[in-house]
Every structure is written in C-alpha cells, then in structure tokens.
Structure 1
Amino acid sequence: MGSGEPLNHPCPMTTYAHRTLLLALSVATVATTVTAAAPVARANAPGTNGPALTWRPCAEPGGLSGQECAQLPVPLDYRDPDGPQIGLAVTRVRSERPAARRGTLLVIPGGPGESGLRRLKTEGPALRKAMAGAYDLVSFDPRGLGGSTRTGCALDAPDRHLVTLRSWPEPDGEIAANAARSRRIAEACRRHGGAVLRSFSTANEVRDIDRLRRALGEEKLSAWAHSYGTYVGSVYAQKYPRHTDRWVLDSIDDPDPSRVGRGWLANMAAGADDRFPDFAAWAADPARESEGLRLARRPEDVRPLFLALAAKLDREPKESSTPGVPLTGNRLRQALQNALQSDGLFAEVGRLVRQAQDPAAEPVLPAAVAGPMPDQDAAVVMATVCNDVRWPTPSVPAHRRAVTADRARHPLTAGMPVNITPCNFWKAPAERPTRITADGPSNILMVQNRRDPYSPYSGALNMRRSLGDRARLVTLEHGGHGAYLSHGTACGDRTVTAFLTTGRRPQTDTRCTD
C-alpha cells in the first residue's frame, strides 16, 4: 500500500526498495508561539516504573558515535501483562551536551516494515546536528522487525515478489489470480504466524512505546514520526496525551478509523498522479540528453509514452538480466512507484524505460522488483495493516468493478490500489482502531510535501481536520516521500528544528516554497 512504504502501504515498499529499509519560514512572515519551553523533568529513575534496560555499546563504522543498544521485554498480549514476553530492540544516542538536554526525542519509524534502528543510523547524524544536544535520540525496531522478536508465514518465493504481494491485476484487468494468491497468503500466515503474528498492530506498537517511555524514566517524550509512524504517533498522542511533549508528524497518513491501511493503499492512486509531473519534467529536461535518459521533448509527452510502454510489456514481457524474472508491464509500474519517492531515484526508472525501448538491450531490474522479499519482512508488513481494521468481505465481482473504475481514473497504478488483498481474507482484528480527535494539548507540528506519492496531501488534510487546534500544518511545495531532513525544503527543516529545540511553532497553518 506513506511511509511505506506493505502490500498495503507506501513505507514498507519504500523500505524494501532500498533492500534494508521495503522515506523567511514561508511565503509570508510566520508568527510563532512557544510551546513547552521548559526542560522536561524525568518521572523516575530509568526502569522504576517499567522493565530495566541494560545498555551496551553498538556503534558501527560510519554510524553515530556513542550509540547504545538494549532489549526491551514487552508482553506478547497486553491483556496478560505477566504472561509470555517478547523482545524489542531499542537504541539511543545520548546528548553530547548534558547542560542543554531537555528530554528524549523518539524517532518513530514508518512502514509498517521500517526498522527504527536503521532509521536512526541513517538519519541520526543530521538529526543530532540539528538538535544540538537538546535530546537523547532513541528509536526501536517494532515487533517483527530487525533485532526484535520475529516470525514468518512460510510463503513460497513467487508469492513474496513485490508485484505479487501487491495485487497488480492482469493486463486485461482480471483479478482471479490476485484473489487466489491473496487467499493462499492469508491462510499461510494463519497457519504459521501464530500469536506473535497476531500481535503485530498499531495498538500494540503504541503500548510498546509507552512501556519504552517508562523504561527510560521519562514523564514525557518528544517525537519525530515518519509516514506510517505518523499514524502510530497520532494514536499515541490520543491515548497518552499527558506523556507527549513536542510532537512532529512528517509525511502524514490518513487517520480514517474505518479504513486505516485500506485507505492508505487506495490513496496511492491519486498520490502517483500528484507526483508523476515531477518525474515527467525531469525526463523531458534537456539536461537528460547527455545522460541518455531524456524520454521526451515535452513533459506532457512522458505520461503517454510510459503508459504505452507498460501496455506493450503487458503483451510482450522482455527478458531481463535476472534469470526467470522478465520485465513486465507491472514490474515497470512498480519500479515507477518505488522511484516516485525521491528525485534521486528518477534515473533508475528512466534507465529502465530506455532499456525496455531498445530491442538490443537487456533490462537490469532494480533490486526491489528483481526478487522476493524475505518471508519475515513480508509477514510484518502485511500483518500490521491486516490486524488493524476489518477489511471488506472478499468479493471478486465487487473488487473487479472497483479495479475497472480505478484503472480508468488512474492508469499509472492500473487498479492495484483498490484490488483484493490478503487482508480481505484475514481473521477479524481484536480491537477497534482509535479515532483521532482534537482532545489533548496543542503541541503537534505536521509537515507534509504537497506531492507525496505514498502519503498524499489529501490524507494529511484529513489528519489536520481530526486534530483541530492541537496541530499546525506546514505544507512544503515539493514532491517526494519524507520531508524533514530528507526530500523537503530548507524552510521546512528550519521550522521543525525550531519547534523541537525552542518550542516555537507557527501560530497558523503555513507553507514553504524554498
């Protein structure tokens, strides 16, 4: 289906696309208010109100100096808090300026399917510089990921390819094969995933975060949440408002409690349409000529060229450099979806288009579409969204009609975002999703790219309406998935940094153009 990238969400696929992941202040003068300027006091000594953390050095070459790691025990089932426990991998980098330290900043990863430990490793140097010692930086691997307790579904390799985990219809729009595969995947996860797989949910991740807060000895946490992590962060702020300090939601998911992951997946059709003009402008730029990647003379010609090529590959797949894995229309469409997350990936899909057009060339598939996901990664990205909310009863005729209509409206995604998935065959979740409301402290800053392909702007506006006066929204006139310290703007970075380090926040919603 962002940030997360599962079959149902941007962020897990974003993570997988990287193989280790599948991520003046405005046009007018911005008035600001100051929120929570005083240092945040500790509640108790670490571990007093929760499990103790035993830290060990874990810095890696090229990573953050002073990084520490620990295991946090959490209940497999919070209805039985003293029952079986599982482990979460957590990491921290302490403030290098104790006199400037005001608390703990939790980095909430995206996905479902993104490792917080990996995210802190990649984003940590820039974040540490921006925070200038104001926080200890902490993150974690959610259940099922990285160094935390894991499980799998024992899926066959063909069912773990990105273009099969995601329900791309057949070239003629037929979905019978998608339905059969989705049922097979759901049944395999039911047989093999067990209680651990059933515990993968937003509700449990939120409980795990609060258990981590208590283990750290903090009365309040500040947070930087990304993509799917914005939904986790908003649910935490709803459930535990008095334990939130300065809260940043970056690349924001639609909080609609009746849809959750199903809505995120469906929104990707419009997200791709929002973002594609950026790729088209890049692909028609004369600067691409010397690179051999100029696809058309005018930006408006790139879309019909791409759609025609995908349709040709539907009819006549082309052998690639990966034995047994041809370049099909759907693999080309999926490669585009991955590349839309960042301008830096445009060349990857531009090169693939050129190779597909050249009769003498053998296309080199991007790693994310060349082979299967690891079984445990596939399990966690599916299970979290499938466990979060009840999906509609599987109906091939109803989904076929939805796919036909969506293919006509959004040909870039060819009906995939509304197709039948394993979640339609999943056992009903045990809990109702949390409704996000305006009840709580006004301490949330939202930052969102206007043209985000995975967490579209329309979903961010829904979150903004839900939060009411609790939040302010900074819109970045930019494309890509991930805003702060990533694919956003200097103005956006300054605004977020000022909020986290000084408490200054725009008095009203605003936008950045630089």
Structure 2
Amino acid sequence: MNRHRRPIAALGGALLTAAVALSGCTSSGDDADQASSSPTAPAEPEAQPIEWTDCDADIDQIIAGRPGSERELLFECGTTTVPADYDDLDGGDLQLFLVRAAAAGQTDRIGSLVVNPGGPGVSASDAAIQAALTLPPEVLARFDVVGVDPRGVGLSTPVECITDEQKDALFASNPRALDEASLSATFEQVDEVAAACSEEYGEALGAFTTVDTARDMDLVRESLGDEQLTFLGYSYGTTLGSTYAELFPDRVRALALDGAVDPTATAQEQAEAQAAGFETAFDAFAANCTGLISGCPLGEDPRGALNALLDQSAATPVPSSREGETRQATAGLVLNGVRSALYQPSAWPQLAQSLAAARDGDAAGILTLADTFTGRSDDGSYSNVVDANLAISCADGQEQFTTEQVSALAADWNARYPLFGADAALGLYTCSAWEAPTTPLPERDAAGSAPIMVIGTQGDPVTPPQGAVDLAAELDNSSLLTWEGSGHTAYPKTDCVTQAVNAYLIDLVAPPEGVTCPA
C-alpha cells in the first residue's frame, strides 16, 4: 500500500497515502588521570542473533492458490531485538519480526534483498512473501528475499492504540467536511485518537521513527551476515532507504527506490500533489472506461456519476448485499474504495462495476475495495496499519497546522480538486493533534554511497513523478529511471523497468541518467 507517506487523513484516507556528536577536552596529568577525564565514545549497539524457525508449511497455506505459489520456495520466520532508544542502550529492547524466502536450488547467491513496501505501516514480512511469488526468477536465484516489519509495524512490537470502532468512524467520515459543524466533528475525531494513543504510550511514541528504523535495518543487515545492504523500497520505503544511505553510506551495496517520496516537499505540498495526482488518475480511469467497446458501466460521464453517488451516500448511505455486513457505504467509504482502485489500473474494471452497483443500491463491491485500502478484515477487525502510520509519520516531525489553516485549505482545494482536495487538506491536521517527541528526517545526499537507483512513474497518483526527480537530484550518486505508465510504483510491471532493475540489483549496473521506459 501502499513517504507514500500515507498518513491517515482526518476523514480516514487522504494520506493513508523519517548522530549524536560528543566533544570534550583531555586534561594533562598521569595516564590514570587522562583515562578518567577523556571523553567516552558513545557505545555502539551490537547486532543480535536472529532466531529462525521453519514456517514453510504455515506460509504455504497462506499463499495457496496465489499466482506464483507453484514456485519452489523455502520460508523461514525470525525474531531479533534492537535497542528501543539508540541514545540509551540500557533502556530496553524492541523485538522485530522477519520473514526470509529463498528459492529452492539457489546458486551463486549474492546475499539478502531486504524489501519494504511502504506505508509507513505496511508489513514488510507480508511483502517478502508476496515478492517471493512475483519477483523475476533471476533475482530469486541470487538473493534471499527478507522482509523486516519496522518497529511498531505488523508483528514487530506493534503500535496499537486506535480501536476498530474509531477506525470505522474515521473511514466512514464525510470527505468533504466544509461547514462548521462537519469540520468540528472531524477535528474532534482526530483529537480523540491522538489523546488515546498519547495515554497508551506517552513519550514512548517518539521511538517509532524512520531514523531509528534505518538504524534497526543496519543491525539486521549485520545479523543476516551481509557486509553491505541490498534494498528494494517502494513508496515510503524510498524514504527509509534514503535515510539509511544518509546514515550508513559506506554500507550501501544497492538501493532500488521505486515510487519515490519527494524529500524536498513540505507536508502541504505533498498533500496537494496527491490530491492533484488522484484527480488525474480518476480522469485516466474515466477515459479508459468510456473507451471500452462494451461501454462504460457508469455511462459517458464517470466523474458525474461518482459525484452523484457521493452526494447520495452522504445523505443516505448505501446498503450492501454481502452476507453478515452491517455497514452501509457512506461518502467516505465510497471515496476510499475509489482511491484504493486508483493505485493500479488492473483494478479499474472492478471499480467501474462496483460504482455502478453502488449507484443501483448495492455497496458490496465498493466496501470490498475500501476495506482493501484500510486493512479491515471481514470480521470487522483491522491490522495496525493505521496506528503505525500515524505514529511513524508524526514522529518523523510533520509540520503543524491550525484548524483555521486546514479549514481554509479544505475549501480552496475542494474547488480546485473536487473529488480528493478537501479530504487531502483535512489530513494535514492529523499530526498537529499528535503528542509525541519528534526526530525529523535528515537531509539526504548520502555522500560517499554506492550508486542508488531511483524510479518514478509518470502516472503515479500517490507519489507523483516529481518526487523521483527531486530525490535523485538530492542524492550525490544516483540514476533516475522514469516509466511512462500509470499506477503506484513500476517494478516489475514492464520488461524495460524489470531488466534495468535486475541489472542493477544483480550486477550493480545502473542505467544511464534520465532513461525513460515506455508505457
């Protein structure tokens, strides 16, 4: 899923779219005096062993029937510990969870390929399982695929402080809250969530930062036995990867950063770029739908049909035919379903059918799409993606916005980006309500690193292509590859991109600067 920093917006989805130097003087005197008065070097954390267990049978059951499940793969699950606070190595540990996948009969192994799918908050262990099913065989022949759930995420000491009921309410909220009453209700929801998490964790919320996760990743690299890191990061994973390169430039072997988050953009600029990106993506979906030989289920004006459905569901939520479903689709859930499908063009046919069915009185399809986006299970429970997303995004030092500023932006952006603008603006309030110490992301030039590959997609609504341009420009040693396709991230969706990334990961051959791959 899906900085893609995707902090959960006030309405539940607009953005569900991170060295201490010691100095001192040595006094004169005898050896003992000098030793006692010399500055003490900061203690270095030690990489801990990974306790691996065979979880092959369990994962085989999970992946049964999925494309790629016929591959001969071996899975292991592992745990290790890292310091909770790198400034206080005696302050306790956090446990991390890993999955490692290896192709049977692997030869000429290079090492581990560590993957991160973004979010922040999306499980990297799940991503490793999926990557083992989908990555090119030539990559699996040379690398183990390793997913480490970042601190606070998935099974790595998960942050859990938002109830399922609160998440249901957030995601169902009005995405076009513009009047005073609606705005007040929206801000109150966000305040309540922030207060509950602060009460649950207090100052400890400040531990879930991208900087500390990058430090964790270096310890895991050492525990895996790799001298340098080979990393594939998507969306927010590009923020994590570039942060690692800034902290440990000499330990970079290869970083492929796909769907780059713009390191130069402010939170407001990122939110507005996403609103504009989703508007463009919806127009591309609409053009595709109306161009179908069989005709578009939404008629000749899909945007008009969606606007009518949003107005209808805001007044009277749409019931669902799904057995056991007690929810009805509000405007917020409809828009989250749309947003979910716009991540990948492969979901566009499902979106057209789901919107048409909702217009006709059955929201089952659009609720399924919305639940895919929000991480809601059939039983009404949620993963901790939302909790972790907020904790990490806000601990990374997001800018602060007043309710007056957000309200004004919501009105402005609603006029300029009529489907997604108000929701994107309202999301800016999220970290203003959050109470936690922050560790801002460093500037990232990664001076002295090996070449880093940055990938952008021309039609990416989540991380628009300017982010890849800017990240590549910030890094001292990088190459930029642009895919002229649509959807969020590019590898391994097309031969041109796949061949370029494979050559980089395996042989360390980066493409020439500015290469473009056709759609």
Give the TM-score normalised by structure 2.
Answer: 0.82
What is the 5 A alignment of 1:110-149? 110-127=118-135, 129-149=137-157
Q: How does 1:361-380 map to 2 (within 5 A)?
A: 361=362, 364-367=365-368, 369=370, 374=382, 376-380=384-388
**Which amino acid counterpart does residue 303 of structure 1 have in structure 2?**
R
Per-residue CA deviations over 1:19-42 (Å, capped at 9, x if unaligned) read xxxxxxxxxxxxxxxxxxxxxxxx
Alpha-carbon separation, structure 2, partners of 1:58 and 1:264: 40
Using CA pairs under 8 Å that are at least 6 residues apart, name the structure with larger relative contact order, 1 or 2: 1
Q: 1:198 to 1:497 in 2, by over 3 A?
A: same
1:327 aligns with 2:324: no
Query: How far does the alpha carbon of each residue in 1:109-142 deviate from its partner, in whole angstroms, 9 at most, with x for none?
Result: 3111211111111121332613152222222111
**Aligned counterpart, 1:314:** 314
CA separation in 2, counterparts of 1:49 and 1:144? 20
Give deviations 1:37-94, integer Å, cap 9, x for gaps.
Answer: xxxxxxxxxxx95211222211221456221121110111111123311210112234
Aligned residue number for residue 510 of structure 2: 505
Q: Could you say if the C-alpha distance between residues 126 and 352 of structure 1 is closer, same or farther in structure 2, counting changes exceeding 3 Å?
A: closer
Distance 1:183 1:466 in 2: 35
**Are the counterparts in 2 of residues 107 and 116 from structure 1 also a CA contact under 8 Å?**
yes
Equivalent residue, structure 2, for 1:275: 281
For the Cα contact (< 8 Å) 1:151–1:196, is it kept in 2?
Answer: no
The amino acid across from 1:417 in the alignment is A
Q: Post-superposition shift, 1:189? A: 0.5
5+ residue gaps, structure 2, are: 18-44
Please tell me the residue identity of whatever aligns with 1:418.
A
- Structure 2 distance, partners of 1:414, 1:281, is 21
1:435 to 430, 443, 459: 443
> By how many angstroms is 1:453 displaced?
1.4
- The 5 Å alignment of 1:93-104 reads 93-94=101-102, 100-104=108-112
Given candidates 229, 233, 236, the residue that maps to 1:221 is 229
Alpha-carbon contact 1:386-1:423 (below 8 Å) kept:
yes
**Structure 1 residue aligned with 2:50:** 53
In structure 2, the residue matched to 1:477 is 484
Take 2:7 and 2:168, find their aligned partners in 1: how far apart are those partners? 11
| 2:499 is the counterpart of 1:491 | no
CA distance in structure 2 between the aligned counterparts of 1:462 and 1:10, rounded to whole angstroms: 25
8 Å contact kept, 1:267–1:417 = no
Structure 2 equivalent of residue 29 of structure 1? none
* Cα deviation digits, residues 87-111 of structure 1 (max 9, x gap): 1011223465665222321112311
| CA gap 1:190/1:49 in 2 versus in 1, 3 angstroms | closer
SS in 1 for 2:51: coil
Q: How is 1:222-261 mapped onto 2 (pairs within 5 angstroms)? A: 222-256=230-264, 259=267
Contact 1:225 1:233 in 2 (8 A): yes
Secondary structure of the residue aligned to 1:150 is: coil
Listed as ranges, the matches of 1:23-42 within 5 Å are none
After the TM superposition, which residues 395-410 of structure 1 pair with which residues of structure 2 at under 5 Å, given as runs?
395-410=402-417
Change (3 A) 1:482 1:97: same
Instruction: Work out whether residues 231 and 255 of structure 2, in 8 Å CA contact, stay in contact via their aligned partners in 1.
Output: yes
State how far apart, in whole Å, the 2-side matches of 1:185 and 1:442 are: 42
Q: Contact 2:313/2:331 (CA < 8 Å) preserved in 1?
A: yes
Q: Per the alignment, in what secondary structure is the counterpart of residue 280 of structure 2?
A: helix
SS state at 2:135 partner: helix
Cα drift, residue 217 of structure 1: 2.4
1:360-418 CA-to-partner distances (Å, cap 9, x unmatched) read x565442353666627332111111011114314x222211110111111112041111
Show the counterpart of 1:178.
Answer: 186
CA distance in structure 2 between the aligned counterparts of 1:74 and 1:383, rounded to whole angstroms: 18
For the pair 1:411 / 2:405, whether they are aligned, the reply is no
Whether the aligned pair in 2 keeps the contact of 1:11 and 1:227 (CA below 8 Å) is: no
Q: Cα 1:144–1:362, aligned 2, differ >3 Å: closer, same or farther?
A: closer
8 Å Cα contact 2:258-2:491 kept in structure 1 = yes
SS in 2 for 1:152: coil
Q: 1:162 touches 1:369 (CA, 8 Å); kept in 2?
A: no
Report the AA paired with residue 346 of structure 1: W
State TM-score, norm by structure 1.
0.83
For 1:474, what is the secondary structure of its paired residue? strand
Q: Percent identity?
A: 27
Q: Is the 8 A contact 1:197 1:380 kept in 2?
A: no
CA gap 1:505/1:460 in 2 versus in 1, 3 angstroms:
same
**CA–CA distance in structure 2, aligned partners of residues 167 and 208 of structure 1:** 38
Instruction: Describe the shift of the 1:58–1:392 C-alpha distance in structure 2 as closer, same or farther (beyond 3 A).
Output: same
CA 1:473 to 1:161, structure 2 compared with 1: closer, same or farther past 3 Å?
farther
Instruction: Measure the CA separation in 1 of the matches of 2:449 and 2:103.
Output: 26
Q: Aligned runs of 1:275-314 on 2, under 5 Å?
A: 275-289=281-295, 293-297=296-300, 301-314=301-314
**Contact 1:6 1:113 (C-alpha < 8 Å) held by counterparts:** no
- Deviation, structure 1 residue 199: 1.6
Distance 1:75 1:128, change over 3 A: farther
Q: Secondary structure of 1:366's match?
A: helix
Residues 237, 95 of structure 1: alpha-carbon distance in 2 compared, 3 angstrom cutoff? farther
Q: How many angstroms apart in 2 are the aligned matches of 1:183 and 1:143?
A: 24
Equivalent position SS for 1:504: coil
Deviations 1:221-246 (A, max 9, x none): 11111111110001101111100011
Aligned residue pair count: 467
Match of 1:22 in 2: none
Change (3 A) 1:346 1:147: same
Q: Does 1:168 align with 2:166?
A: no
**One-letter amino acid of the structure 2 residue matched with residue 277 of structure 1:** D
